Structure 1
Amino acid sequence: MMGAPTYQAARLVAGTVEQHFLQHQERARLLGEQNLAPVPPARLIEAIIDAAFWASLRREEGHPPKISLAFLPPDFAVKPMLFQKRIPLAPYMLTKLAPGVERPGIHLGVWHEQEVLYVWGTTHAVNSFCFVLDVSEPGLLVIKHRRIGSYGKFTNVAVLKGDQIKIVDEQSASLPDCPELLTTLLGFTSVYAPNDAVNVLVQLAVSMRAHGRGGTLLVVPANSEAWRGSILHPISYAVSPAFSGLSDQMHQSMEQRNLGLWQGALRREIDNLAGLTALDGAVIINNQYELLAFGAKITRAGGSVVVEQMVVTEPIEGNVAEIVNPSLHGGTRHLSAAQFVYDQHDAIALVASQDGRFTIFAWSPCEEMVHAHRIDTLLL
């Protein structure tokens, strides 16, 4: 290796990360999963994180690096691009490579010979539970892996920002007496979803966050018009009949889905819908993913009162729930979303902030108040 790691957070998190991958790979083998990527030992995890962290603080022609490192030997990769000569896993070399490999879906393959780590090339596909480390911005690293047979967003394991370490709590989806849609949304932390599982709300959340303008998405029951009582009329952009572009993709049978073509079409529909949240006002869809309106203004329902408290949690280990006034949690979007859910218990609201914060609001019958779930750590 290039020398003893000096980024303290790397040493603190390495053992926990190693155990996470070992435990999940063991369970995957018991379920019959094959071709799993090797698990890096803690000392190599520490060294990879250290190199990536110091690379993240450098700049190449004025730009910070955005790279993804995948720990696997080249013979595990599908159609990899191989370098003729190995490149040392060093901050300087990672920074030099970054401009050519910063597009989504490209991973730098990392392997080792004894204790020496090196980059062997690039790959677009990684095995289930392959250790992946993303450099998102200066000082911000995300450790993640692909779920078994899943599409879209990888599962985050840990987020490191400077000296802050956040370990994702995999039990965050096990909330008693919570709405089905919310359980599904938080359930993407589970790595053992069925092979055909596509969590559309997760992909919508990622796309909403990506446009950086902030926005609100309201999800209401398909068999109810009660939500209209919490919206100012006339709605700026009401849609009639409901637009079913995303719904049509989700209702295709597995036999009808040509994987490559279907994923591309699904991604376009998700991005088109998420793009509407950049406009002023909320986007409204039903739980069948049909678009009902956008540019909608939320108001307090007739006969209701102003929501005065809600519980706030974040699905990371060690987090403690807080009860706060919604006006102290965020801006107008957050307050109006909390009011909407307070008045419409069978709906949920997804709110993206311009600063990257992302919150799900849902009514919790077990707590008898609005529950705000901070999930930006999961979306990085």
Structure 2
Amino acid sequence: MIGKSTYKAAREVAQIAEDHFTTQIEAAKKLNGNNLATVPPARIIETMIDAAFWASLRREEGQSPKISLAFLPPEQTEQPLLFEHHLTLSPAVLTKLGPGVERQGIHLGVWYEGDYLHIWGTTRSIPNFCFVLDVSEPGLLVIKHRRQDGFGKFVNVAVLMGDQVKIVNEQSSHLPNCPDVLTSLLGFSSLSVWNKSLNVLVQLAVSMRSHKRGGILLVVPAGSDTWRTSIRHPMRYAVGPAYSELTDLMKQKEEKDGENSNWQDELGRAIEAMAGLTAVDGATIISDKYELYAFGAKITRKQGSTPVDKLILTEPVIGGEAMIDQPALSGGTRHLSAAQFVHDQRDAIALVASQDGRFTIFSWSDCENMVQANRIDSLLL
């Protein structure tokens, strides 16, 4: 029944989420956006979160459910799988359905009649800005929505971890020296650029995090060799000539506008392959044109450079204000090496995945004249 939640965090975030979706959908309408979703009322958001949270703590045949709920009627989808009889939106029903709908891209469709929410079936197709609630693991829920271009990672709005709520800060992308990958992950703050480009680094970050082995991806300027002064030689897994599959695919996107589904499949496979190399001990090095130079490389302090002794720590969530601290507090050896590399190679960025799921982008801040570390795992879930 709508509005009868017992999960405190659901009540805290419901109105914030409604306001967010209202703002984004209204802004899209002004830009003549099409295929737009219905704004979810706060009371419905609260009820969906409550049911999903309690379902996440249950088990079916020893496994916790991993499900995705989408708020929309069947009429807003293409080729929906419709149940003959509507199912009640409840923790018990979600737990039972979980094993059959846990594959990526499948959403349980949720709609309402009067004061009752129901599950009408499943779908792979959802409209722009459709409210999606992902159950990632026990006690971990993510509110997100589809990008307007329909391709790539969904945009996260809020992350709920037990009694902790993280609201993504829409203003983080306006900070000085905000890395492009972070700007793309905070895509809802710049509606007009969504359809212009795909940020490959976002897809690489998601894939790096998913292999759960940890890794470093260094992105250096194309055509420059200065990064080599911060790498131990010889490099065991140097690539020569530079491997350009991703570069070539992105050129095809510019020429053909990237609408072909075969192109998207090829791009996805190329990204998975490159992200897989980051699981090898050491750093994977690519250019800002996505050419692969090496993997398994060992970072070293550039000759004559000083050790990095402090950096700016930030997280793009409300309450995650910047603080200056020691590099060791941002993580372990990988993080310290990445911070040193960016300190010495100030036109580069470093993406660092931890085995525990943490993900950090290191870049140089001209404003503060020091390395900045943006922790973005709450955006990658």
When normalised by structure 2's length, the TM-score is 0.97
In structure 1, list runs of 5 or more residues that go unmatched. Answer: none
Aligned to 2:95: 95
Deviation at residue 245 of structure 1 after TM alignment: 0.7
Question: Matched residues, percent identical?
Answer: 62
Q: Structure 2 matches for 1:145-160, cutoff 5 A?
A: 145-160=145-160
- Find the counterpart in structure 2 of residue 365 from structure 1: 366
* Contact 2:217/2:284 (<8 A) preserved: yes
The answer on whether the counterparts of 2:5 and 2:47 sit within 8 Å (CA) in structure 1 is: yes
- Deviation, 1:148, is 1.1
Instruction: Encode CA deviations 1:136-165: one digit per residue, 9 max, x unaligned.
Output: 000000000012114110000000000000
Moved more, 258-267 or 247-256: 247-256
1:212 deviation in Å?
0.3
The one-letter code matched in structure 2 to 1:373 is: N
CA 1:188–1:35 in 2, change beyond 3 Å: closer, same or farther? same
Per the alignment, residue 224 of structure 1 pairs with 224
The offset of 1:281, in angstroms, is: 0.5
Question: CA offset at residue 282 of structure 1?
Answer: 0.3
The 3-state SS of whatever aligns with 1:173 is: helix
Aligned counterpart, 1:54: 54
Q: CA deviation at 1:313?
A: 0.1
**In structure 2, C-alpha distance between the alignment counterparts of 1:329 and 1:4, rounded to whole Å:** 40
The C-alpha deviation readout for 1:45-75, integer Å capped at 9, x for no partner, is: 1000000000000000000000000000001
Equivalent in the alignment of 2:311:
310
Distance in 1, Cα, partners of 2:17 & 2:380: 18
- For residue 174 of structure 2, give the secondary structure of its aligned residue in structure 1: coil
Would you say 1:78 and 2:78 are equivalent positions? yes
The CA distance in 2 between the partners of 1:60 and 1:170, in whole Å, is 37
Counterpart-to-counterpart distance in 2, 1:241 and 1:260: 29
Corresponding pairs, count: 377
Q: Residues 238, 97 of structure 1: CA spacing in aligned structure 2 closer, same or farther, 3 A cutoff? A: same
Superposition pairs for residues 168-207 of structure 1, below 5 Å? 168-176=168-176, 178=177, 182-191=179-188, 192=191, 193-207=193-207
**Residue of structure 1 equivalent to 2:286:** 285
SS in 2 for 1:280: coil
Letter in 1 for 2:116: V
CA offsets 1:322-362 (integer angstroms, 9 cap, x no match): 11111222111000000000000000000000000000000
How far residue 195 of structure 1 moved from its aligned partner, in angstroms, is 1.7
Q: Is the 8 A contact 2:314 2:373 kept in 1?
A: yes
Distance 1:210 1:161 in 2: 19
**3-state SS of paired residue (1:247):** helix
- 1:74-125, CA deviations, whole angstroms, 9 ceiling, x for partnerless residues? 0111111111110100000000000000010000000000110000011101
Name the TM-score, length of structure 1 as normaliser: 0.97
How far 1:183 moved relative to its partner?
3.0
Give the corresponding residue for 2:242.
242
Alpha-carbon distance in 2 for matches of 1:196, 1:319: 29
Residue pair 2:107, 2:122 contacting (<8 A) in 1 also: yes
CA RMSD of aligned residues (A): 1.2
Q: CA deviation at 1:236?
A: 1.2
